[in-house]
A and B are shown apart, each in its own frame.
Chain A
Amino acid sequence: MTELTDLGVAAIREGVAKGDFTAVEVAGAFNAAVAEAQDALNAFITLTPEKALEAAAAVDADRAAGKPLGKMAGVPIGMKDLFATTGTRTTAASNILGNFVPPYESTVSQKLWDAGAGMLGKLNLDQFAMGSSNETSAFGNVISPWRREGSEAQLAPGGSSGGSSAAVSARIAPAATGTDTGGSIRQPAAFTGISGIKPTYGRCSRWGIVAFASSLDQAGPMARDVRDCAIMLEAMAGFDPKDSTSLDMPVPEWEASLNADLRGKKVGIPREYRMDGMDADVARVWDEGIAWLKDAGAEIVDINLAHTKYALPAYYIIAPAEASSNLARYDGVRYGLRDLPQGAGLQDMYAATRAAGFGAEVKRRIMIGTYVLSAGFYDAYYTQAQKVRTLISRDFMDAFQTVDVILAPTAPTAAFGLGEMVSDPLAMYLNDVFAVPASLAGLPAMSVPAGLDRQGLPLGLQLIGRPFDEQGVLDAGLAIEARAAFTARPAKWW
């Protein structure tokens, strides 16, 4: 029999449905893989093997009873620890929510359970999803299963969905949820040689996801390949009356409609993304991607996204501004950490609680956000950034007059080593440079693995589509996947 942990979403679903193996066997195999890898990779904050088994047993029982099975039936997944899960602590990788056990389930996780998925555990992440390396987690950083050729240096799995990327690429989970605010699904997917899609803003309900930046946050799947992403996104997406920004549109049948034939399609190549001093491997993979899409029948068109260079500064104003307000609720009054020094008043309690509860990066962003919203600075920063955001959206809309999908690198480099960037937050922020524009415009965007760099580390290519056109993004991703023939996987060292 095949190693069960080598299987992805589609293969598990089909195997369970056909009776090649039971869902409980699958859950057991992944539970064991998770347990074996946990100390080395630190991909999970909380393990829930019993939840995985329980869901699997229910699927097996349904199958035995001849009941119809859901889209994710029998698939155990990792749940980013930003999604509230009833009765299972939900930490956002922070101290302030370190022992927080929600009495409610996020809409997206509930939809996955309803589709027959089970939970292996809660995945590690950058604290409050703020980071690109997973080093801001209060539960210790995730270690990438990948290593440079001939090196044992620990690498970043990307962030903020670094637990998700590490788990999927290490084959300890067939798929995982991620959230993407400024690249937090796509960049870690690229760093670890897996696929991940951030759908159009509003496709997945934000209800029950610990908020970072409300106007940008979007959940999405991270999985081995494009088809698995399509399956899982179908299970996650859908209108939710509890989220005012949720899209009131039917969920398309992305999986059934997958089509790698791109004849008649136009693919835009944004000039502005080709920067001076670009990593040679990244540039090479991008050129290969262009050739593959041409081979799939697409016409390649050069496009301008003139305001790209302002995207990162605008993002680092808007996201912290929203975060500074979103994180005000963690005050020690109602739930979560409370630090109440002897004889302290309310202000002292706030100060002590938040000082102990938030990590350095979270504090930095709260301070940046507070600053840019302050009287006298608001117009110069926040208002200006919103104008930039509008211009960036307009750039994309203009481009989509001509092209159907845009191809660009996902990240400017392959995975970096842990500790290499922590002392320079700006350098870390630059890692999001290609990811952030699509986030600001709310567009669907995905990363697919495209090749390895000279050190043997994965590189991803990014596809950006029109609003609501996840299908176009997935189809182009599938065309690349078919030609890149990316089969590399991390050698098991744990």
Chain B
Amino acid sequence: MSDYRIQGATGEWEVVIGLEVHAQISTQAKLFSGAATAFGAEPNTQVSLVDAAMPGMLPVPNMECIRQAVRTGLAINAQINKWSRFDRKNYFYADLPQGYQISQLYHPIVGEGAIEVQLDDKNPESTKTIGIERIHVEQDAGKLMHDQHPTMSYVDLNRSGVALMEIVSRPDMRSPAEAGAYLSKLRTILRYVGSCDGNMDQGSMRADVNVSVRRPGEPFGTRTETKNVNSVRFVMAVVEQEAKRQVALLEDGGKVVQETRLYDPDRNETRSMRSKEDAHDYRYFPDPDLLPVELDDAFVEECRASLPELPDAKRHRYETALGLSAYNAGVLTAEVETSRWFEALLAASAAKQGKPEGEVAKQAANWLTSELFGALNKLGKGLAESPVSPEAGGELLALVGKGTISGSAAKQVLEKMLETGDAPGVIVEREGLTQTSDTGAIEAAVDAVLAANADKVAQYKGGKEALFGFFVGQTMKAMQGKGNPQLVNEVLKAKLA
């Protein structure tokens, strides 16, 4: 349980949070028309007659959108409603051509589900289950442009009719961190499933944040809804600011008003948009242009079969089957691209070493999370822009695994790979980094080092065992770093015994 509390003047307060996440479904075509959905197109170039609500135009459901919503529902272990229906939400606005949004109020396609979040990525025990009330499918609206004309607003209908999933959580979160963890985890799942690209900066995922405060143990307080928050960080900020604002208001003897608010990131504050009194009466009713959506078992099973391994399952497999640490398993599964990269790396490395993946997984995970991530971080690049491919990484790991180069040489090789894009084998050859496992050469070098440092040998034999590292270092230096460290160790131990 969260122990996040707001310290008010009159005591402690608990914050209660629910999120309504709008996730744009990744499809080529809109929910009820064949128009395209690409981001960033010229205004009004992706608008069909249906999207512009021309007289006599009719919506026809895009089954791919339905399929993605069902797959998403299955990914959060939710109930799939085999009978659902579209309703009209009626209101006038210039970005809403039909004068209503086609949505699902009464019979959503996905019912109750849940996702598990981990609040501390170093602590696998710090999990919490957040309930999801429903997922429904609806149309997005267009966009008003206020900067095109001195006295008029323009309308861009490219987004009009684009398919959204609205994913409604239960009011189960109790801290900014929990809200952030929930949103991140949800985004991870959507990306794994492929039903939404999760790009919050492009608006393809955004959250309405419901916040209320109460004394611990008391019933829920009155909530406010802050609309269209477009990053995890901002969601956390909204929770924090809004909770503080409500506490201050209540402690001042005021009342929280149920209202819609907007977040201003520049000032880090929320502002009232409209109160419940001037809320719309949306006059929801079943859309008579559309038949109910009826799904059969085969369709649902096909959706289920099409799901990839999901983050929780993958993480569990990395820990149990691959023997990775909980931390590494968490890092490598947090984004579907990372896990794909890791799995390609692992496959390449195992194949080149002729070993089962389980035997080389730790090496691959450690190299990826510490070496490559660190190097890319310095370059200010993400994994997607890595100059090193998983195959090249696998080759590098195999060179180390087979003893061709040392671990320290591998670091040099990686640097060169990042610089030149050359294959690791080529770099090793060119730079002469192959390590020697020739016992005779190693013995000769060891003998020379011991002979040159007789005094230290005596001290060592007298009990100063810390000097062992000195002998290793001297031997490696004598061999220009090419001695197989393991063999150097063995030979030294034998000669000093």
Contact = CB atoms under 8 A, between A and B. Distances in A.
Interface of A: 83-84, 90, 92, 97, 100, 102-104, 106, 206-211, 213-215, 241-245, 321-322, 324-325, 327-331, 333-335, 346, 350, 370, 373-375, 378, 382
Among B52, B55, B88, which residue has the most Cβ atoms of chain A within 10 A? B55
Give the 6 A-B CB pairs with smallest separation, nearest first.
A328-B99, A373-B283, A215-B288, A214-B288, A329-B53, A208-B56
A233 B94 CA distance: 39
B59 interface: yes
Q: Is the interface of B mostly helix, strand, loop or mixed?
A: loop
B59 A244 contact: yes
A325 B285 contact: yes
Interface residues of B, number: 31
Nearest to A345: B153
Contact of A207 (B58, B90, B153): B58
B55 A334 contact: no
A209 to B, nearest CB: 5
B97 interface: yes
A206 B58 contact: yes
Contacts, number: 100
B60 A213 contact: no
Contact of A102 (B55, B61, B98): B55
Contact of B55 (A100, A215, A244): A100
A214 B287 CA distance: 9
Contacts of B155: 333-334
5 contacts: A209-B56, A245-B290, A329-B53, A373-B284, A378-B285
Nearest to B53: A329
Nearest to A211: B56
Given A328-B99, A334-B97, A373 B90 contact: yes
Interface in B34-70: 49, 52-61
B100 A243 contact: no
A409 to B, nearest CB: 28
Contact of A329 (B55, B288, B289): B55
A439 to B, nearest CB: 13
- Tell me the dominant secondary structure on chain A's binding face: loop
B99 A241 contact: no
B290 A335 contact: no
Contacts of A322: 288
A245 B56 contact: no
Nearest to A343: B151
B285 A329 contact: no
B291 interface: yes
Interface in B264-313: 281, 283-285, 287-291
B158 to A, nearest CB: 14
B92 interface: yes
A450 B287 CA distance: 39
Given A103-B49, A244-B59, A350-B92, 20 more contacts: A90-B55, A92-B55, A102-B54, A102-B56, A104-B49, A206-B58, A207-B57, A208-B56, A211-B289, A213-B288, A243-B60, A244-B60, A328-B90, A328-B98, A329-B97, A331-B99, A333-B94, A333-B97, A334-B97, A375-B283
Contacts of A334: 52-53, 97, 155
A390 to B, nearest CB: 13
Nearest to B282: A375
A337 B188 CA distance: 47
A244 B56 contact: no
